[in-house]
Amino acid sequence: MFDWLKQKFAPGLTAYVSHNDCMQHNVGEGHPECPARLVAIRDQLIASQLFDFLTEVEAPVVSDEQLARVHAPRYLEYLEMSLPLAGTFRLDSDTAMSPGTLIAAKRAAGAVVRAVDLVCNHQAPNAFCAIRPPGHHAESAKAMGFCYYNNLAVGVRHAQFRHGLERIAIIDFDVHHGNGTEEIFRDDPHVLMCSIFQHPFFPYCGDAPLGENMVNVPMKAGSSGADFRKVVQEQWWPRLTAFDPQMIFISAGFDAHREDDMGSMGLVEADYEWVTRELMRFAAEHCEGRIVSVLEGGYELSPLGRSVAAHIRALSDG
């Protein structure tokens, strides 16, 4: 499916990190978190002629040590024991496993680790991880919301342990609150998380932040791009500026798009491009341009592809 994905390095180009194995997680016809999501992104990037501005990189399998920096040993063992040989095994009402789930999830987490290395070693100015399953609902010892490993959290811990970064900012603009990321980094003075999310809405939390390092901004159903931009300017920027991060991670969920039936917000491609360009400018001033963006939600295929293309266009224009 991804024969176009080759291992090539071109310093100065945005890294596009993915792997064929991310297609192996499939829990049934009609499930919104489906392999077709990555195909839709690929097709839109081809149509938009953006691949010339990307360095395409294969994601490795995440190591046990890297996962253990985020997830409890018993939880990791539980996932391994729960992996079905055929069919599906349901972890909760909306999170199931298929035989290909864990290899996909291990490539997804490994992609973020690889992206961190590329950016921190100056092999790429920034990176986008085109991966699935997503991760921001996965807590340290709990799978939920289509998520198994918290991919972004694994990358943040790698940046701290392997590259010695002491101040890392996380931006999450998925329509659903990144409860797993918040649980993992609550009260961590080395991490600042800024997020918007529809509320009340799944996972029905976030309105009461778990720590002072959490800038959680609940938004009503129907909130517009103008509402989103106001939050970024008035609530995110002051905290980000005071924190002065050395690197930025983005939980890039695109299900707040007005055409995505998973939520009820009103963002469009221009809003995703705008916030990405603003983050690019901020990163250039504060953290040597270091940004790693990680795909989270986005389930209506056409707006997902268009939104990712707008996001990558901004990343690659730096």
Residues belonging to the active site: 137
The residues facing 248 across adjacent strands are 169, 291
The amino acid occupying position 145 is G
Say if CB 103 and CB 19 are below 8 A apart: no
Rounded CA-CA distance 89/73 in Å is 20
- Which residues are registered as beta bridge partners of 277? none
Q: Give the containing element (helix H, strand E) for 195.
A: strand 191-198
User: How far apart, in whole angstroms, are the C-alpha atoms of residue 177 and residue 198?
Assistant: 8
Q: Residue ranges of the alpha helices (H) in the chain?
A: 36-47, 64-68, 73-82, 101-120, 151-163, 179-185, 225-231, 237-243, 269-286, 301-316
Q: With beta carbons less than 8 A apart as the criterion, state whether 128 and 293 touch.
A: yes
Whole-number Å distance between alpha carbons of 130 and 108: 8
**DSSP, res 51:** G
- Cα angle 295-304-208, degrees, rounded to a multiple of 5: 55
Q: How far apart are CA 294 and CA 147, in angstroms?
A: 13
- Number of residues in the chain: 318
Please state, as a whole number, how many other Cβ atoms lie within 10 Å of the Cβ of residue 302: 13
CA distance 193 to 251: 10
What is the C-alpha separation between 275 and 80, in angstroms, rounded? 38
Going 178 to 179 to 183 to 187, the CA torsion angle's sign is positive
